[in-house]
Amino acid sequence: MNTPARPTEDEIRAIVEIAVDNDIPNFTMDGNWYEDYEMDSLGSIALVVEVQKRFKVRVPDERMPDIRTGNQLVDVIVELRALGSVPAEADAVAH
């Protein structure tokens, strides 16, 4: 069984830039999206949607408040992939 590659910094940066609707020239994987990149609540929704679309995982709502950096997001994506988490729409089709 192939293990999906870990999301790259470029992939995470692209998602965060979509979420904040702005380029982030000094993006780091340790930067706090809310404090360093001024992400708001709508941005966090955009981030979840984009993550679920790109990485085919479903991020539980209760996990989002604890995900504030690129490194944390990568860890969650890897964990969800290992658990076999699927996006809500794929789950609905399966049932």
Structure confidence by residue, pLDDT tens digits, 10-26: 999 999 999 999 999 99
Cα gap 16→2, rounded to integer Å: 27
> What's the CA gap between 57 and 95, in Å, rounded?
17
HSE-CB of 26 using CA atoms within 13 angstroms? 4
CA distance 77 to 52: 9
Distance CA 29, CA 8 (A): 10
Tokens of 77: 């994506």
Full-model pTM? 0.83
pLDDT of residue 84: 84
The two tokens of residue 66 are 């604890």
Q: Round the average pLDDT of the chain to a whole number and report it.
A: 88
CATH superfamily of 9-94: ACP-like (1.10.1200.10)
b (16+ CB within 10 A) / e for 38-69: ebeeebbebbbebbbeebebbbeeeebeebbb
